[in-house]
Chains A and B, each alone.
Chain A
Amino acid sequence: MARPHIEPFVDRSIDFKRFTLPGFSKGMHYKMLSLDNGTGACTMTVKYETGYKQPPGMSYTEVEILLMSGTIKYGKETFRPGHYLHIPPGVAMPEMKVSRAATVLMMYNFAEPSFVESDEHHRLAMPGQLTSVNAYDDIQWQPSSGAIYPAVAPGCMLKVLKYDPLTEALSFLYCMTPKFWQDNISYHDSAEEAYHIWGTSHMMQFGELPTGGYFWRPEYINHGSFSSELGILAFGRTDSKLHNYFHWNPWTSPEENRERAAAQLARQRPQLFKWAKSPDGHNHPHDFEYPDAKNNTHYI
Chain B
Amino acid sequence: MDTLLQQLINGITLGAVYALVALGYTMVYGIIGLINFAHGEVVMIGTMVAFTVIVSLAGSAMAPLMILGIGVAVSVVVCMVLGWALERVAYRPLRHAPRLTPLITAIGMSIVLQNVAMIIWGRNYITFPPMIGKHIYEFGGASFTNVQIAIVTLAALMMLGLIYLVHRTRIGMAMRATAQNQHVAALMGVDIDRVIAMAFIIGSALGAVAGCMVGSYYEIAHYQMGFMLGLKAFTAAVLGGIGNLAGAMAGGLLLGVIEALGAGYIGDLTGDFLGSHYQDIFAFIVLIIVLMFRPSGLFGERTGDRA
Interaction A to B: no
Chain B residues engaging chain A, CB cutoff 8 angstroms: none
Chain A residues engaging chain B, CB cutoff 8 angstroms: none
